[in-house]
Amino acid sequence: MLILAAQQMGFRKTGLTLALASVFIAPSVYATADNIEKIAVWSTQVKTSALYLQEQDIADKQADHISDLLRSIPGIDVGGAHSLNQRITIRSMDDKDLKISIDGAAQNSYMYHHMGNLQIHADILKSVDIETGTNSVINGGLGGAVRFETKEAADLLAPGASVGGRVSAGVANNAGHNFSLTGYGVLTEQLDFLAYYNQVTRDNYDVGGGEITDQTGGAIVGTDGTVRGLEGDVNDALFKVGWNVDVNQRLALSYETYEDKGHYSYRPDMGLATDLVFEKGLGTPLLWPTEFTRDTLTLSYDLEWGQGSALTASIFSNVSELYRDEAGWALSPSPRFRGNAGQVTGEAKNSGLNLIAQTPFEALFSRESHLITYGADYLKHDTDFHKLAPDNTVSQSQEEAKNLALFVQDRIEFDSGLVIMPGIRHDSYKIDSKVITNDFTELSLSLAAEYHLTENFLIKISSTELFKGPEIGEVFAGAGLRDSENNDIEAETGLNTELAIAYQRTIGNSITWSAGMTAFSTHIDNYIYDSAMKPQPKHRWDQWKDNIGDMQIDGFEAYSEFTHRRLSIQFTYAQSNSDLSAFSHYEVLDGSRLEREQGDTITTRVAYQFERYDLDVAWEGMMVGGVAEGQFLGGPSINSEKRSYTVHNLSVHWMPQTISALHFRVGIDNVFDEFYASQSSKTGVTGHPLAGEKGLFLMDYEPGRNIKATVAYQF
């Protein structure tokens, strides 16, 4: 099998070189031979170019939101507390600028600007592989890549077993419960299968401190500390069947269906304070019947053909649909808003093919070795908007975009220990939208080098050219139906440059210390802003999609980890700053920052294994510094200051040796009941006619203290 995380860039999985996988990875080595088998039973592995997290650590989080899984990784945050608003950001760039996939199927669909581009439940995941920043020509995109992979039968079967299963149930006091059932096994020597079902029932949760406040710190009239608009059900089912054609070939077919349904807020990203203002000012309901579904069909093929050569290929179809009953607009006293009533459906389909292969060889007339990575990536986006009004009139719109990328990258290792990695990528992008119909082509180059200064000290520098064509419009807002034509809009290009160092030292037989840092500089030319004011606007909402200037993002990520037998102590730090150099006709935006820019972020984690009692205990803290008021693209207009916050989490895992298939997990999230919102979510105060001089308070409130427990039995 092609191991993308380590072998794509040619990194070995032994010694210090495990510390780098694209940029660097801090190896977690405290798991001994006695507990490795426990860890691998049912867990999620998270591999990033910034940090390596133990599978056990991830499982103990009892994650029911992607934020639970990823927020401790330097440079990464997940905005949005609502189930519909899982919005991954890397170095302040949101999910529209990332390459996100599940089992190879692209997820970027830009359904609705009030929700994220990704809906998935963490329990189903086998691994999450994250490239922090675009560091090679293999993935493309502006800000990095996130590859989710779901579980397989081969990963779960006990040695010698032909069938197995798992049942799990969990409950949280703030607020909800979940249940999952899994069966897996081998049908013949060549055929295996996995069937999985998970249900999550979410209730409205309470905020930290038990009081919902506004920008002045005063309690909002009509609230009781509980956030409304969150109550709903998520159902996720996966079926996989695999065929080992022979020892070198495997075919796998998977189908996943995901549904999120409830009476939700109209704007899941803006928070209850905003919802209440609109409810009163527009005379419309607070909650709206909403349903999101996603169906993904993937056929994958793996081939190894000798001497280290390997191929992975997949073809997929991913269809997402967002439906909302908007009959509630008819209750508004304003004829203008009553005209919005209807049944609204937005559908986004991603279909494509990706191929990636590797071939190693030794040079004939010199002493260096080569590892060639090459492949193709084809992706097609189709969107369809449909609205049925009460008088049976229909509004419709469709858009389309497709991209074909070819890439090749070489890893050249010299006897001296120096490694050079040149790469080249060609993108051919075609778009047919209401904004523009055009073709864009771009040739992108990359060059990286790494060197062991000593046996324990590794340094790497890389520089990668960037490309991204203009996007089609958001689906649920009309699939371009209300967008303005702009035939002069250009593709975004740029350059990402990074310097990374990693150090690892083993002291005696039980102590390991590792540390690393990456400094980066990302420059994006012709940055595209979806809400730029038109030249000579007629009113404040007269906006369009346009290139507004050049965006510069600078920062660094660092980590340090100490392990001693059963003790592990981990520390990370991340900083990122963005700055727009605006074009002359958008000079009012000069100096703007990315809306999801986060303050300096420190995470700490201390874990200890009480072997005598079969207990794993971990404490994790996250401290996020404030961000001074300024101009943020798409951010609030009156007060944009972002508040600092600190959140602590505890987890305990008990797996009794007498019943090794039984797992008990107890955790407390937000131990000290902090009142906060992620800085990657909507925050601040903005002007709005309905809010008067006080302004509209935007805060996507995170849950307060949450005590949760899970029991699982795997057989």
Closest CA to 273 of 683, 715, 712: 683
Bridge partners (DSSP) of residue 605 are 570, 620
DSSP code, position 311: E
pLDDT > 70 fraction of the chain, expressed in percent and rounded: 91
Q: Is 476's pLDDT higher than 90?
A: yes
Question: What's phi and psi for 227, nearest 5 deg?
Answer: -80, 120
**Is the pLDDT score of 16 beyond 50?**
no
Question: What does the alpha-carbon distance between residue 598 and residue 345 come to, in Å, rounded to a whole number?
Answer: 33
Kindly report, residue by residue over 284-339, the tens digit of the pLDDT: 999 999 999 999 999 999 999 888 899 999 999 999 999 999 999 999 999 889 99
Kind and range of the H or E element at 397?
A: strand 394-413
- Where are the extended beta strands (E) located within 565-676? 567-582, 601-610, 615-624, 645-654, 662-669
- Chain-centroid distance, C-alpha 625: 22
pLDDT at 231 > cutoff 50: yes
Whole-model pTM?
0.89
Distance CA 84, CA 275 (A): 16
pLDDT surpassing 90 at residue 625: yes
In angstroms, what CA-CA distances link 25 with 362, 424, 537? 27, 25, 49
- Do 429 and 444 meet the contact criterion of CB atoms below 8 Å apart? no
CA-CA distance, 469 to 440, in Å (whole number)?
Answer: 7
pLDDT of residue 108: 74
Whole-angstrom Cα distance, residue 556 to residue 74?
A: 9
pLDDT for 99 beyond 60 = yes
pLDDT at residue 27 is higher than 60: no
Higher pLDDT, 650 or 46: 650
8 Å CB contact between 497 and 521: yes
Tens-digit pLDDT profile for residues 543-598? 999 999 999 999 999 999 999 999 999 999 999 999 999 999 999 999 999 999 99
Segment holding 156, helix H or strand E: helix 153-156
- Mean pLDDT value across residues 627-656: 94
105 contact partners, CB below 8 Å, separation of at least 6: 296, 298, 314, 316, 317, 318, 350, 352
512-542 pLDDT, tens per residue? 999 999 999 999 999 999 999 998 887 777 8
Q: What is the pLDDT of residues 663-693, one digit of tens each?
A: 999 999 999 999 999 999 999 999 998 988 8
Distance CA 561, CA 58 (A): 17
669 three-class SS: strand
Residue 462 β-bridge partners: 448, 498
pLDDT band at 23 (very low <50, low <70, confident <90, very high): very low
Domains (range + CATH), the chain:
4-714 (2.40.170.20)
As a whole number, the mean pLDDT across the chain is 88
Q: Please tell me the predicted confidence (pLDDT) of residue 106.
A: 86
Q: Using 50, 70 and 90 to split pLDDT, how confident is the model at 139?
A: confident
Vertex 210: Cα angle to 207 and 211 (nearest 5): 90
Each residue's pLDDT tens digit, 378-389: 999 999 999 999
* pLDDT for 46 beyond 80: no
Residues in the chain: 715
Q: Which residue has the higher pLDDT, 70 or 458?
A: 458
pLDDT value of residue 5: 31
pLDDT digits (tens, 9 = 90+) for 31-44: 322 322 322 345 66
pLDDT the model gives residue 259? 96
Structure tokens at 574: 């991340």
Distance of CA 55 to the CA centre of its chain: 18
Is the pLDDT assigned to residue 6 strictly greater than 70?
A: no
Residue 693, Cβ density class (10 Å: 0-12 exposed, 13-18 middle, ≥19 buried):
exposed
Minimum mean pLDDT among 24-38, 213-227, 270-284: which range? Answer: 24-38
Burial class (CB in 10 A: 0-12, 13-18, 19+), 394: exposed
Does 180 have pLDDT greater than 60?
yes
Alpha helices by DSSP H, 32-78: 36-39, 55-60, 66-70
